[in-house]
Structure 1
Amino acid sequence: MASLPIFITAVANSSDEPAFPLLFTWSTHEAQVKEVLVIPDDEWLESHSIEPNIQNLDEQQLYEFGFEASDILAEWINEFDTDVIYGLDAELISEMVEATYDIKGLEPSFEVQSIHSWFEERDVNLNDAIAEQGNNTPLHLMAPDELIVQLLNIAVEHGLIDPSDIPAIED
């Protein structure tokens, strides 16, 4: 059986001019949710700042609890055995992934495609599925970990992911 898809989201340094990531959240092939703060590279901070964001992340938190890009890339190399991962805002996430790889002089080993298209290819309208769950919060305003859990739950509810392949999806 094919492995579960990987869903990913990111919080950028700026909503107007995103240049680098502050946070990545993704699902694994075992339907676990992982989240990591990103320590900003000095090169990023030379020409861009960290603006107020929906997650209230600041530079101090990133340095205190975050991980270097090289550590994040090492984890992705071990976990992402696929050419495609799926994100809500594929363009933004692609930019954040590319910035993370680029700062280490590397090219991404996968591409980011739209989560809406993943569901549409399986005959599920993501917006309708969210409405059916009674969720009135727009996806882009959800906390990143809640968003990933929501996507996994919708995939299970619509039979796109076999629940027996998942150790547990927690709300």
Structure 2
Amino acid sequence: GWDNTKGQTIFQQKYTANNKINATIEANDGLANAVVTVLKQKGVGPNKIPTVGQDATLQGIENVLQGYQCGSVYKAVYLEAQAAVALATILRAGLEPPSALVNGTTAPASGKPGNTQPAVLLTPLWVDKSKVASTVIKDNFVDKSALCQAVTQKVCTDNGIT
């Protein structure tokens, strides 16, 4: 699993052994925050080592606005829910889902036999400083008041979050 504490320990060891790291890519914002924590402890300031995550969590977006994380991959939960409900309703009625909804396929896991399966593929969004207001704040995915309290109102205002 993705263990933030373990990830922080591993990154701490790797960074201590060789601090010539020029970028990091994490599977989620929790692991990205573990990296950011180590970098802060080592005195590395914002905008020095590009770090990315996924899930657009409050902490991840804080790190984005503070310059410790370049961005976060955001998957709009309401779009996932809409697609799931539409698909379930269509299948429950015994109908064939339209190609406008089922718009792709998934492949089996590497090394495992099996056929591809029809899938509803949605487009994730990259959220950097310039897109926080128009995505996660607009969608009410990240609470604006909690975010602006964590990073200061000035940082929010400077990034179009009002």
Check whether TM > 0.5.
Answer: no
Structure with bigger gyration radius: 2
- Quick check: which one's helix share is greater? 2
Q: Which has the higher contact order (CA 8 A, sep 6+)?
A: 1
Instruction: Bin the TM-score by the shorter chain.
Output: under 0.3
